[in-house]
Structure formats: C-alpha cells, structure tokens
Copies of this chain bind each other. A is one copy, B any other.
C-alpha cells in the first residue's frame, strides 16, 4: 500500500483514485500552496480523468479530515496546503502569487501576550503580509 493510501485510511477516507492522485499532487508539488484550479490543471497534465467538481469535493473532505489547511488570501480564490508542517505565517506576492512561509517566535509570543491581556483564549491565528516579492518589485 502506498503512503498516500495509508494516509487516507488513517484519515477515515475510502481509498479512491481521485483522492490518491490529488494527495500525491499536494505532497509532491514544489509550490506549497495550490488552488483547486492548480490541482485540476496538474491532473489534466497527468492525463487523469478527474472533474473539477471532484477536485473541490476531495479538497473539502481533506480539509475536514485535517489533511490539508485552506487559506483565504486576498484576490478571490482559496489555496490549499498540506497540513503536516508546523505553524507558520504567510507573505504573498500580490503580483505573481508566490507565497513565502515564515515563523517568528517573537511575534508568536507577543500575540499570546496580547490575547492574554484581553482575556482571550486563542484557538487559531494567522498573519498574512502582502506585497511585491524581490522578482516583481
């Protein structure tokens, strides 16, 4: 059994061809953040007969199962990212769409302090920065 199949099984999902293929794409893509359309295009390139509707369905199931994380960046469409990495934040190029990931201990700590000062019990947080990347500026 492939590692993808095992992951699906562990997540409680039936092992089907679309799910395995989409999981492979998410895991093997050099870009960490893919839109549903990106995944679909990659499937077409691999000559898989999988509809865009199925791509959305599978990605949503993966999200529910905790296999991927969905982000709503500015600019209209959602992007999906494999959820096995540690917490990190994002810096998005508004021109070419490139996404850089970073984590900063100081910011994390300060966020917690601020939440504490308001009496908030944090469940999640995200910091997104937008701008021009070195290549686009």
Q: Which of A's residues lie within 8 Å of B, judged by CB?
A: 72-74, 76, 91, 93-94, 100, 102, 104, 106-107, 110-111, 114-115, 118-134, 137
Asked if A131 and B126 sit within 8 Å, CB to CB, the answer is no
A67→B94 CA distance, assembly (Å): 21
Asked if A129 and B104 sit within 8 Å, CB to CB, the answer is no
Partner of A130, one of B73, B123, B127, B133: B123
Asked if A118 and B104 sit within 8 Å, CB to CB, the answer is no
A104→B111 CA distance, assembly (Å): 9
Number of copies of this protein chain within its complex: 2
Asked if A122 and B115 sit within 8 Å, CB to CB, the answer is no
Q: Which residue of B lies closest to A100 (CB)?
A: B118
Asked if B91 and A120 sit within 8 Å, CB to CB, the answer is yes
Asked if A134 and B115 sit within 8 Å, CB to CB, the answer is no
A106→B126 CA distance, assembly (Å): 17
Asked if B115 and A131 sit within 8 Å, CB to CB, the answer is yes
| A91-B118, A91-B120 known, 9 other contacts, Cβ within 8 Å | A100-B120, A102-B114, A110-B110, A111-B129, A118-B133, A120-B134, A121-B132, A123-B131, A127-B128
